[in-house]
Amino acid sequence: MRIRTRVTEQLGIAYPIIQGGMQWVGLAELAAAVSNAGGLGIVTALTQPTPDDLAREIARTRAMTDKPFGVNLTILPSIKPPPYADYVEAIIAGGVRIVETAGNSPKEFIARFKEHGITIVHKCTTVRHALSAERNGVDMVSIDGLECAGHPGEDDVGGLVLIPAAARALKIPIIASGGIADGYGLAAALALGAEGVNMGTRFCVTQEAPIHDNIKQALVRGSERDTALLYRTLKNTARVFRNAIADEVRSIEQRPGGCEFEDIRPLVAGVRGRAALASGNVNDGVISAGQCIGLIDDVPSCAELITRMVAQCRERLDTAQRFVA
């Protein structure tokens, strides 16, 4: 049985469960598995070295699923930025119908996406940014609470407040992101005013995720206290798994007088994190992880996870209904 919200209806999916775009992880195998299970899989554009590589990854995903899937395009300030416009054209040429944007505003690309009937979901960490995205013409907003992996912004607002605040302020559908790993979280998000959920960390700990099993098992063993916030002193906060690298970075940041990014660059380099995900050495690089690792205790297939989440969600909502009947 489907769950019907504006998110499922507009995206053409059975369940309002979206796999977030994740650097090094959002490959065809994972995206297709999520979509085949009734959610929305997401291919991460900038994991691919070039727009041509992205075009090939889109084609690989389409060969694995006939269900809707999307592409994440994260737009970040950079001295030498990637050729974002060329990635946009690869997305359009690949016939992708859904785009998840993140980072800076996607304003300069919205009209181009709209010309081709592409639905735009923009990730935000504040209500004010969500309102700006709505004014710019995005179709949905994914709102990230402080619990999330990756960059939660600098306002430190958790989902219990941020989700209903966004739902009250916006007219377009809200997708809850951060701290969600099961049907309890899905039920809570729907009750708070969201019409879907976005999960990154939970989908990292699935059979189809292209991550070494040692990393998955480390996340399974972790509790909600086993993450760390890095780059706080640099005003670019990121939540990661607490390992030896994270502890060292935090120690450097806590030095009298703070630190410059160059002081930690060798520790946090993206290629080092990518190598750790592939090798399974959990202490060799920065590994993004949200507080929801405290809710993760197995490594299911994407299909098993989504089926279980939907059943749990219905059970929790039925129970809550009985409380007020």
Q: DSSP for 53-78, please give it.
A: HHHHHHHHHHHH-SS-EEEEEEE---
| CA separation for the pair 113, 99 (Å, rounded) | 8
Q: What is the pLDDT of residues 33-83, one digit of tens each?
A: 999 999 999 999 999 999 999 999 999 999 999 999 999 999 987 778 999
pLDDT, residue 77, reads: 79
3-state secondary structure of 209: coil
Q: Tell me if 39 sits within 8 A of 12, measured CB to CB.
A: no
Report in angstroms the alpha-carbon separations of 140 from 16, 87, 101, 143, 175. 12, 21, 10, 10, 7
Question: Which residue has better confidence, 78 or 276?
Answer: 276
Q: Are strands 69-75 and 17-19 parallel, antiparallel or unpaired?
A: unpaired
Per-residue pLDDT for 153 more than 90? yes
H/E stretch holding 51: helix 51-64
- CA 93, 98, 100, 101 torsion: positive or negative? positive
At which residue do the structure tokens 């996406």 appear? 113
Q: What is the mean pLDDT of residues 251-280?
A: 94
pLDDT-derived band at 181, boundaries 50, 70, 90: very high
Domain ranges of the chain: 6-208+301-324, 213-291
Q: Which of 76-85, 109-118, 140-149, 314-323 has the lowest mean pLDDT?
A: 76-85
Per-residue pLDDT for 1 more than 80? no
pLDDT-derived band at 214, boundaries 50, 70, 90: very high
Third-level CATH fold of 6-208+301-324:
TIM Barrel (3.20.20)
Q: What is the pLDDT of residues 78-112, one digit of tens each?
A: 778 999 999 999 999 999 999 999 999 999 999 99
Report in angstroms the alpha-carbon separations of 324 from 160, 183, 318. 21, 20, 10
Q: Tell me if 21 sits within 8 A of 34, measured CB to CB.
A: no
Read off the pTM.
0.97
Percent of the chain with pLDDT over 90: 97
In whole numbers, what is the pLDDT of the chain averaged over residues? 97
Amino acid at 89: E
What Rg do the C-alpha atoms of the chain give, in angstroms?
Answer: 19
Query: Looking at residue 50, what DSSP letter applies?
Result: S
Report in angstroms the alpha-carbon separations of 161 from 63, 127, 147, 324. 41, 11, 12, 22
Question: In this structure, how many other beta carbons lie within 10 angstroms of the beta carbon of residue 297?
Answer: 11
Smallest Cα–Cα separation from 63: which of 40, 98, 29, 93?
A: 29
At which residue do the structure tokens 């089926």 appear? 307
pLDDT, residue 154, reads: 96
pLDDT, residue 78, reads: 77
Smallest Cα–Cα separation from 63: which of 89, 95, 25, 87?
A: 95
**Phi and psi at residue 161, to the nearest 5°:** -100, -40
pLDDT, residue 219, reads: 98
Q: What is the mean pLDDT of residues 175-188?
A: 98
| CA separation for the pair 236, 152 (Å, rounded) | 9
